[in-house]
A and B are shown apart, each in its own frame.
Chain A
Amino acid sequence: METHSISLTVNGQPYSGEVEPRLLLSDYLRHDLGLTGTHVGCEHGVCGACTVLLDGQPVRSCLMLAVQAEGHEVATVEGLASSTEDLHPLQEAFWEAHGLQCGFCTPGFLMTLIPFLADNPQPTELEIREAISGNLCRCTGYQNIVEAARLAAEKMQE
């Protein structure tokens, strides 16, 4: 099988390797780099679980090929906390507001909310609901996730 060389940074770390042209970015992150925090739910761009940042913008990593990330900066959920003792304020807010149950959708919600809160540090509830409209949660329900986003906005103001 023909492969392409790619070099990119993920969470600030440089990576390079050989990938098949058809490999999705989500599969590259999970299988080649072992960064399994990015979850694959629907694999056709509906559920939002695989959301990562590409040059700071939220994108569905299942709707991009790994070769297209060549030369770009990718950020995944693994890059948020510096250690298990020192969570990102957004992660703390999800914990405190009970913004997750099974946690499958959580990485996608977090990576969607990071750029949203950077753009809009004091969002209204409606704005939060619109921002997360592309992420599905099948157990917590959205009430606590919205609350967690609101709490995170407060924490990040401090």
Chain B
Amino acid sequence: MEQMTEHGDAAKLLAGGQSLIPAMNFRVLTPSVLIDLNRIDRLEYIKSADDGTLLIGAMTRQRDLEKSQAVEHATPLLHEAMPHIAHPQIRTRGTLGGSLAHADPAAELPVIVIALGARIRATGPDGDRWIEAKDFFEGMFSTALRSDEVLVEVAFPPSAPGSGWRFEETSRRRGDYAMMGVAVHVEIDADGVCREARLIYLNAGDGPVEAEQAAAILRGEAPGDEVFASAAAEAADKEIDPMGNVHATIDFQRHLARVLTVRALEKAFARAQAQLT
């Protein structure tokens, strides 16, 4: 923290370095001071609190998340998304906190933390504060972190009974940035009616995009093909704002969103039902 105060905006925090170092290699970024977080062992942990909350240190490697049984048990959605993040040689270095603080709109981890209703702990000169994941991302590579704050921990709440989840993405090749992706979290009551739904899209705008109207269509309804199709159409045609690129036109991205949403909802609700029976 002293280093950050001393060097101010000239300094960049170096986490796993899997985005910052490429940017430096391209000379897109030329920070005069790098503050390396890699030797701060106390930022690297996965632990369960008594109330079932899963606490993960910001410098925990993505590879360790992928292999963690605690993650698989408490946050299966996070577990399911991990293999989609780049390649094994990236995940051995890349960190949870680094990816969140970088806030790439095409990244997987930002949509996952929002879908799971996680909270993010930042520490600064005035102490700690918690930021809701949905309030953390403010746009392209931009977050609620102040320049004198460090992201130190992410807290994932325990999942409610009757929860279901699914992560879906489509990329041209394994490990490439996805052309479109969606993380879905749903909860159903004892009658099988949808009580809660969150659908968060990646590469669908200038940050993670939450489809709130699509979620509203699902809430209070019994899951089924018709309601899935109408939620998917709402999200894909109206709520997301994809930019298109050389790999996928905007129309194609919307098409993918529609298809992936239906697939994700089918799987997520099936899992929720399996949990109740």
Contact = CB atoms under 8 A, between A and B. Distances in A.
A116 B86 CA distance: 16
B7 interface: no
A140 interface: no
Contact of A58 (B34, B86, B92): B92
A21 B21 CA distance: 13
Contacts of B83: 130
Interface residues of B, number: 21
A134 interface: yes
Contacts of A99: none
A51 B21 contact: no
Contacts of B92: 54, 57-59
Nearest to A134: B87
Contacts of B22: 44-45, 63
Interface in B45-74: 63
Interface string A116-127: 100000000000
B17 A64 contact: yes
Contacts of B174: 129-130, 133
Contacts of B21: 24, 45, 62-65
A48 B25 contact: no
B25 A62 contact: yes
Nearest to B61: A57
A147 interface: no
A150 interface: no
19 contacts: A44-B25, A45-B18, A48-B89, A51-B89, A59-B92, A60-B93, A62-B21, A63-B22, A64-B17, A64-B93, A112-B89, A116-B88, A131-B88, A133-B87, A133-B175, A134-B86, A134-B88, A134-B89, A134-B175
Given A48-B87, A64-B93, A133-B173, 6 more contacts: A44-B22, A48-B89, A62-B25, A63-B93, A65-B36, A133-B174
Closest 7 CB pairs of A and B: A134-B87, A44-B22, A133-B174, A57-B92, A63-B21, A58-B89, A133-B175
Interface of B: 17-18, 21-22, 25-26, 34, 36, 38, 63, 83, 86-90, 92-93, 173-175
